[in-house]
Structure 1
Amino acid sequence: MIPALAAFFPGKLAAIAESLVLEDDPRPHVPGAAFLDGDRLRQVLDAFAANYAEPDEQAVATQWSKWHFSQLLPPVLIANIAADWLLPTAIDRIGIVLSPDRRTLAIRLPGEGARLPVSGVQRFSPLVEDHLAPLIAAVSRASGLPAKTLWSNAGNVAETVVSECAAFLGEAHPGVTDARALLAARLWPDGRRNELFEPIRYREGRRRRRICCLRYRIASLPLCKSCPLDSIPSRSRRSGKE
């Protein structure tokens, strides 16, 4: 674990932070900037597609992105929300440690981070603007998967983390309040559209995504637990149509 994070992830929580490492990690890695190159990214997605007997290009991209976000967002958001700690996650400064099938195993950071310089929803701006936005745009271009679906994948993970932080810290905790405000805001303070707006809705006590992730297009995969669909569409999973 990164030494500066040890106090934020004690005991059993330490496993959450294992996906963040520093530049002395000996494992091979790919520079984050390489994931903005369409050809390199398609190679990664093509290799990841080998996990499925009948891969659909967009569904493969959605599954790859969900794995990446699940490695990145929990430790980064917990450090931000619970400890006011900003980690250096800009895509062009990090490295990504990949498994043999090219899924994200760890994020290689250029430093341990520092105390947050701002509060409010702006505390999440570096993560959103310098990592999520450029990576999502690149994955969308490489796969044809709509960017809104990728943002929804990130938002789904983020909302889960925020809810867990709220259960542990309380809704009145400043970090939790700021995170809830981010997910509830249609716009950033400067008027830009907030792509993380309301990724999850609760209907009749059930947690549902606002936008389907399209994983049902892979025949071996069922609907996800928070799918907004009640059943798999009758049209061909492989048709690319809704």
Structure 2
Amino acid sequence: MSPPEDLRSRIQALLDGPVAAYLGEIPGGEPSERPLAELREASAVSGLATAWGERQGYDDPRVQVTQWSKFFWRAVLPPWGLAAWLGATVRLERCVMICRDDEPAALDFHAPVGEPLDPVTAFAPWVEAMAAAGRLSPRVIWANAGNLLQAMVEVLPELDPGLAVRASRLRRAWLEKRTHEGRRHPLFASVRWLPGAPPRRLRRICCVRYRDPALGYCATCPLEAAPASVSVRRSARRIADRGPPKNQVSSGNG
């Protein structure tokens, strides 16, 4: 394996180069820094997501958090995923989130070390904090991560064909049906394809952005594409909206 600093430089070069085209426009605005470890607290997530959401005109806390989480994953997943692809791991608890006007924009990460962690172990504290902050089912936050992670594993072989075999192994490990402990993998089948010309890409779980009338359904929403059955739509919405019971709201710590 390359020395950690060499790995960090390679990851940053990929983020600034070929990967940048897949991440969209990085926002402008006033920069600020937050230790990523702090965002394992629901209160810290709520503060940032609420301030950002109100600036966007979103009133519903569920919409504020789910939409904010998509930018969180856009900042976190690429460096973490590239490190795993290169055989190491970015220790998220040591990283700093760079925000612009409270929107996650980039991750200031340390040199990767050690063996890659599985994403469930790596991300669970932040998923729990975001779910608690927005009174959302954790499945919504996992689905937001899986939507991007699925796209990443499709792009990795194009970055370096010599590492295509490793990319294929990571795809199975990250998106398999069961975790190594035998539990259902929360990132499994985050995206599916409906046959057609061209095939249509759909999320498995709704991100609940439709709760804001100005946003409505996204282009990959499973609710919008569901059969016109009231029971089907209600069932899908219950899965998306079901937050933790009031007596079990996690603070996001551990």
TM-score band, normalised by shorter chain: 0.7 to 0.9
1:196 maps to which of 157, 176, 187:
187
State how far apart, in whole Å, the 2-side matches of 1:68 and 1:38 are: 14
Alpha-carbon distance change, 95 to 229 in structure 1, aligned in 2, over 3 angstroms: same
Structure 1 segments unaligned to the other structure (5+ residues): 19-26, 118-122
Matched-pair contact (CA < 8 Å) for 1:54–1:219? no
TM-score, normalization by structure 2? 0.72
Q: What does residue range 102-117 of structure 1 map to in structure 2 within 5 Å?
A: 102-109=102-109, 111-114=110-113, 117=115
Amino acid in the other structure paired with 2:214 = S
| 1:129 counterpart = 2:121 | yes
Per the alignment, residue 200 of structure 2 pairs with 206
Deviation at 1:218, TM superposition (A): 1.7
Per the alignment, residue 95 of structure 1 pairs with 96
| 1:79 counterpart = 2:83 | yes
Deviation at 1:182, TM superposition (A): 2.6
Per the alignment, residue 23 of structure 1 pairs with none
| 1:36 counterpart = 2:40 | yes
Per the alignment, residue 67 of structure 2 pairs with 63
Deviation at 1:78, TM superposition (A): 2.6
Per the alignment, residue 156 of structure 1 pairs with 147
TM-score, normalization by structure 1? 0.75
Secondary structure at the aligned position of 2:207 is classed as coil
| 1:227 counterpart = 2:221 | yes
Listed one character per residue, the Cα deviations across residues 174-204 of structure 1 (whole Å, up to 9, x for unaligned) are 3222222135422222323321111111111
| 1:7 counterpart = 2:13 | no
Secondary structure at the aligned position of 1:212 is classed as coil
How many residues matched?
A: 216
Secondary structure at the aligned position of 1:201 is classed as strand
Secondary structure at the aligned position of 1:29 is classed as strand
Deviation at 1:108, TM superposition (A): 2.6
Give the number of the structure whose residues are more often helix, by fraction: 2
Alpha-carbon distance change, 17 to 30 in structure 1, aligned in 2, over 3 angstroms: farther
State how far apart, in whole Å, the 1-side matches of 2:193 and 2:205 are: 13
Deviation at 1:128, TM superposition (A): 3.3
Mean Cα deviation higher: 149-158 or 212-221: 212-221
Deviation at 1:54, TM superposition (A): 4.3
CA RMSD of aligned residues (A): 3.2
Deviation at 1:95, TM superposition (A): 2.0
Listed one character per residue, the Cα deviations across residues 27-51 of structure 1 (whole Å, up to 9, x for unaligned) are 6422223222333322112101213
Per the alignment, residue 164 of structure 2 pairs with 173
Alpha-carbon distance change, 95 to 112 in structure 1, aligned in 2, over 3 angstroms: same
Secondary structure at the aligned position of 2:94 is classed as coil
Structure 2 segments unaligned to the other structure (5+ residues): 24-30, 234-239, 243-254
Matched-pair contact (CA < 8 Å) for 1:183–1:198? no
Deviation at 1:207, TM superposition (A): 1.1
